[in-house]
Amino acid sequence: MSSEMIGVIGIVLLIALILFRAPVGLSLFLIGFSGYSYLTTLDVGLAQLGMTTLNIATSYVLSVMPLFILMGMILSYSGLGRELFEGVDKWFGHVKGGMAMATIGASAIFSAISGSANATTATVARFSLPEMKRFGYNPGLSAASVAAGGTLGILLPPSVALILYGVLTMEPIGPLLIAGIVPGILCSLFLMATVYILVMKNPKLAPTGQTRAPLKEQLKAFTPVWPFLLIFVISVGGIYFGLFTPTEAAGVGSFGAFLYTALTGRLNWQKLKDAFDETARLTAMIFVIIIGADLLGSFLAITRIPATLTLFVADLSVSPYVVLVLILLVYLIMGLFMEGIAIQVLTLPIVYPIIIDLGFDGVWFAVIMVLMINIGLLTPPLGVVCYIIHGIDRTIPLERIFANVAPMIGTMVILTVILIIFPEIVTFLPDIMTE
Amino acid sequence: MLDKTIKDLEKVIYPLNAIAQRIAMVVLFILMMITVVDVTGRIFIKPLYGAFELTGFALAIVIFFSLGYTQIKKGHIHVTFLVDRFGKRTQAIVDVITYLIFFLLVALITWQVADYAFRLHVGNDKTADLGIPVFVIAVISSIGILFFAFTMLLELLKAVQKVVKNE
Amino acid sequence: STDNDTTSTGAEAETSENKSENSDDTADAGNSVTLKVSHFVSPQHGYHTDVLEPFAEEIAELTDERVTAEIYPGAALGDATAQYEMTTTGVADLSYAIQAYNPGKFPLTSVADLPFIAETPEKATDLIGDLYDKFPEIQEEYADNKVLWLFGIDSDQILTTEKPIDSVEDLQGLKISTPSPASNEVVEAWGATPVFMPMDEVYEAMQRGVVDGRMGPYSGVANFQLNEVTDYITEGDFYTTNFVISMNKNVWESLSQEDQGAINSVIDKYKALSADVYASDAARGKDLAEETGIEINVLSEEDKEEFEEALDPIHNNWVEEMESEGLPGLEVHEEALRISEEY
Ligand code: NA
Ligand code: NA
């Protein structure tokens, strides 16, 4: 049997396991480990199991996750999140679906700068989901807004994905980072419009818009939340202005939240314990999935599926646009099962030269590819941000989260099509910059 | 007989994982402070020596010591809509099979992290700045995963109990 | 019929159950294997395109396709820091690893990472090779794997964003991002603040001013496009970084003598090529830096003196540490200095 076939069988078994109520993270572990063992030997698979588990869990860069989650938990348990949404209601409550749109915007900014879709989802979901529910929003819509918003940061600078693209293809990194800005903002607006359309078609999804709060009330709504905004500005702004790296910002942000809420008496001992307890558990849950996804990724790498798929498409002699669409399709398929960085590393050496040969712009393609990877973050069976949301609010069934995210994915596909038809939307800003 | 075994095991495994969770929470606090001391130190005096490697160690402890308690609190993710439609007995049988598989898997992970610890010890691997032997964190991690394995064993026995009771 | 030959891995080949069907052709020649070759740099990196790919091709040709290779770049099979261990355990069959990523595992080897021991890739590669051949204690450090070759690369320079560095004085209080613990020591000895950082964070850290500079080689400037975020380079060839290309022992032993011989026959060539590729990447990096308008300050021997003096204690500390662990630190250090000076 070919190694590619083994990979396909592995994926089928994975889906079967997940459907049969097996724990998702450990299912990824099991298939990754058994597949690697099957294609090598049991001893090798076992060694890989131990090494990957420990190496990922001790990664400095990944500590950004528990620290940002902790910040969100503390703000949430202290009641600051509640007050924040009272303010959001004053500002956007008169727009139908306004709170969900504001959440998309907030997620986009937070993930843009924190650099982690997972950390953003966990942080924002923890205080926004209960609040939107309180205001009468449909939980599925709220979940989809947080999830889709969280993926946007990968397009907006700083972006590890676009830097990696630069290193993998030798495209200059500066223009790549600039190229993500307009599509990133456009994608946020498109997603907000999606919420608006969804609410228009089904008014039960969001509360009826009230009359617009007067400006005085809107401004007054800031009073209780300024500490929240200050913590946000210090930690997230600190990254932007070169005070610290994302990991450090997460530590400073959680400490700032801890200090402020403790000193103002908003956080008693019990709430403090609850915040740490829940953060630790959420971290454990997320890391089982992340380590499992890595093991699965290594297995799929040695099945040669990514290379075989891309080479197959490359060898087709059809029109450039058909090849492009097929390549994007391959990215969507791989996004079902694999993480973005692994996908880039395994495919770009083959895909990038083809794209250039076909006459497409390398910087433009980076943005299109990142959009595909973003979609992958939202699709089952490996859709980590959706799992995180389910981990935070168990009352929203997973299948419902995935179903509600579907229109958001549709929007991202539409945006991709627009960017293919009008590549200038992506390239004009980097072009101005390099002139 | 099975009922009593489960009760007895719970009396050991629950407190064990509750303690582990407390440790994870304290280390999470330490993880936060490592970064804070490092950053403030770097801006005003000098950075915390070894912050990079201490952060990695702390993260591992938070993750692995929280795994078992997360299991007890049903914190790991499952897709339930299909199996929920099955009869109670079928559900129980499915659970026996999955928990048997995953108990064995977690036991394997425990063993392999411990085995890696052994190799790190023999290879004399140390951290860059502080020169801490890396096997230490591997041993600590495998203990955390072992507690997780205990909770999976308990889930397995409970699933078996359900099958037996539904007969 | 199956295509086991392409799916079977080296590690599989050494098990008793050899699934290969066309054993008629290969019975005398040992097993057919497809080596999983693992590294952690980009597939555009010169080491991938100009060393590992040609190496794989040549081996396949010399062994009539009995030994082929599949290269997995970008840490697809495991962390940069795990590469050597991955080969020991068979997760990869052949890997490209930096010894300094596993402190403590290659103690005597680290003599070659000390400041001002080797300035160019050629010298660094010869030096580490000579030391390996001479000291069984160094060979012992690699006992877990079959070493194919060792090599060193172009030396680290000081890259800064806003401040030109002409003297040790200029470094006081600057935050300098570092790639290894060895460079932490160097940066600290100069009175700057080291900020240890993986390569993928450096671009943004420099762009946003999280750090004021980076210790890095010209080849790294080329491969990670640091020219886009650097304004000044102080060229002092301060210290090199050493690498090991090694194979899983069981896989190596599973090969026929003929195939082992074929691989052995090209080792010297690819060792030399390793140094060449880094040398040309370094030249390319320097060209790029000049094209981008980066101000390059090449330190004269006199300018260098104060940088060297500040680093002297690092050498003494190294010897003391080795001796305290019962290793022949003094002897290895003397020999390294001798080779370095005679070169
Ligand atoms: Na970003
Ligand atoms: Na997915």
**What's the rounded Cα separation, in Å, for the pair C315 and C318?**
5
Size of interface A-C (CB pairs under 8 A): 120
CA-closest candidate to residue C325, choices C111, C124, C104, C161: C104
Distance A383 CA to ligand 1 centre (A): 19
Give the ipTM.
Answer: 0.90
CA of A111 relative to ligand 1 center, distance in Å: 6
Pick among A274, A285, A387, A398 to test the B interface (most B CBs inside 10 A): A285
| Residue to substitute from B30, B76, B93, B95, interface A, most A β-carbons within 10 A | B76
Chain B residues in contact with C88 (beta carbon < 8 A): 119
Collapsing DSSP to helix, strand or coil, C191 comes out as: coil
Task: State whether A44 and C75 contact (CB < 8 Å).
Answer: no
Any A CB within 8 A of C22 CB: no
Check A346 against C76: CB less than 8 A apart.
yes
Question: B1: Cβ–Cβ under 8 A, 6 or more apart, which residues?
Answer: none
The whole domain housing B72 covers 2-165
Ligand nearest to the CA of A382: 2
Which residues in chain C are contacts of B52 at CB distance < 8 A?
196
pLDDT at C36: 97
Sheet holding C156-160, edge to edge: C193-196, C175-178, C213-217, C156-160, C232-235, C295-298
| Count: domains in chain B | 1
Q: Best interface-test mutation with C: which of B38, B39, B42, B113 has the largest number of C CBs within 10 A?
A: B42
Contact C224 A167 (CB under 8 A): yes
- Tally: H helices and E strands in chain B: 4, 0
Q: How far is C225 from chain A (nearest CA, A)?
A: 7
Q: How far apart, in whole angstroms, are the C-alpha atoms of residue A334 and residue A328? A: 10
Residue C311: C-alpha distances to residues A190, C109, C116 (Å): 57, 19, 9
- Half-sphere CA count of C336, side-chain side, radius 13 A: 26
Cis peptide leading into B15, omega within 30 of 0?
no
CA distance, residue C104 to nearest chain B CA (Å)? 5
In this complex, do B25 and A282 lie within 8 Å of one another by their Cβ atoms? no
> What is the per-residue pLDDT for C196?
78
Q: What is the per-residue pLDDT across C272-298, written as a single tens digit (0 to 9) for each?
A: 999 999 999 999 999 999 999 999 999
Query: Would you place residue C2 in the very low, low, confident or very high pLDDT band (cuts 50, 70, 90)?
Result: very low
Average pLDDT, chain B: 94
Residue C34 · residue A33 · CB < 8 Å? no
How far is ligand 1, taken at its centre, from the CA of residue A397, in Å? 29
Q: Detail the DSSP E strand segments found in C127-253.
A: 145-152, 156-160, 175-178, 193-196, 213-217, 232-235, 242-248
A345: nearest CB among C76, C210, C224: C76
A268 touches chain C (CB under 8 A): no
Phi, psi of B131 (to 5 degrees): 65, 25
pLDDT the model gives residue B69: 98
Chain B contact for A69 (CB, 8 A cutoff): no
Does the CB of A143 have a partner CB in chain B at under 8 Å? no
Query: Using CA atoms, how far apart are residues A281 and A287, in angstroms rounded to an integer?
Result: 10
Shortest-distance ligand to the CA of residue A334 = 2
User: Which two structure tokens, joined as six digits, stand for C66?
Assistant: 């009995």
Contacts of C59 (CB under 8 A, 6+ apart): C67, C68, C69, C262, C263, C266
Residues of chain A with pLDDT under 70: 435
Query: C21 or A230, which is more confident?
Result: A230
pLDDT at C5 over 60: no
C90 Cβ under 8 Å from any chain B Cβ: no
The one-letter code for the residue type at C11 is A
Q: Cα separation of A90 and A220, whole Å?
A: 9
CA–CA dist C35, C247 (Å, integer): 9
The number of residues making up chain B comes to 167
For C186-218, what is each residue's pLDDT tens digit?
A: 999 999 988 877 777 788 889 888 889 999 999
Average pLDDT, chain C: 90
Which of A46, A58, A276 has its CB closest to that of B57?
A: A58
- Cα-to-centroid distance, A108 and ligand 1 (Å): 9
Binary contact (C104, B42; C-beta < 8 A):
no
Q: What is the mean pLDDT of residues C155-164?
A: 97
pLDDT in tens, C176-190: 999 877 788 999 999
Q: Is B130 on the interface with A (CB under 8 A)?
A: no
Span C223-276, pLDDT tens digits:
999 999 999 999 999 999 999 999 999 999 999 999 999 999 999 999 999 999
Q: Is the pLDDT of residue C333 over 50?
A: yes
**Set of chain C residues whose Cβ sits within 8 Å of the Cβ of A341:** 74
Query: Across the interface, do C77 and A40 touch by the CB < 8 Å criterion?
Result: no
- Kindly tell me if the per-residue pLDDT of B156 is higher than 80: yes
CB-CB: which of B35, B66, B115 is closest to A67?
Answer: B35
Predicted local confidence at residue A182, as pLDDT: 95
**B167 pLDDT tier (thresholds 50, 70, 90):** low
What's the rounded Cα separation, in Å, for the pair A345 and C80?
Answer: 14
Helix axes A340-357, A160-169, angle to 10 degrees: 50
Q: Is A418 exposed, middle or buried (0-12, 13-18, 19+ CB in 10 A)?
A: middle
CA gap A121, A69 in Å, rounded = 9
CA-nearest residue to B144 within chain A is A284
DSSP C21-60: S-HHHHTTTB--EEEEEE--S-TTSHIIIIIIHHHHHHHH
Which is more confidently placed, C114 or C13?
C114
At C182, is the secondary structure helix, strand, or coil?
helix
Q: How far is A20 from chain B (nearest CA, A)?
A: 6
Q: How far is the centre of ligand 2, averaged over its atoms, from the C-alpha of A24 (Å)?
A: 13
Q: How far apart are CA B3 and CA B9, in angstroms?
A: 10
Report DSSP letters for C246-291, one per residue.
Answer: EEEHHHHHHB-HHHHHHHHHHHHHHHHHHHHHHHHHHHHHHHHHHH
Which residues have CB under 8 Å from A224's CB, separation 6+?
Answer: A80, A83, A86, A87
Residues 280-299 of A with CB under 8 A from B: 280-285, 287-289
Which residue from A17, A281, A398 is facing B69, i.e. has the nearest CB?
A: A281
Q: Which of B74, B71, B104, B97 is nearest to B160 (CA)?
A: B97
What span, in angstroms and rounded, lies between the C-alpha atoms of A91 and A86?
A: 9
The H or E element containing residue A114 is: helix A98-114
User: Would you place residue C6 in the very low, low, confident or very high pLDDT band (cuts 50, 70, 90)?
Assistant: very low
> Cα dist. B25→A279, B31, B148, C227, C273 in Å?
8, 10, 16, 43, 52
pLDDT average, residue stretch C127-147: 98
**CA Rg value for chain C:** 21
Q: What is the pLDDT of residue C30?
A: 59
Q: Is C175 helix (H, G, I), strand (E, B) or coil?
A: strand
Specify the higher pLDDT residue, C193 or B138: B138
Residue type (1 letter), C296: I
Instruction: Give one word for A397, left, alpha or beta, with left for phi > 0 and alpha for psi -120 to 50.
Output: beta
Contacts of A47 in chain B (CB under 8 A): 112, 115-116
pLDDT band at C10 (very low <50, low <70, confident <90, very high): very low
**Closest residue of chain C to B52, computed from CA coordinates:** C196
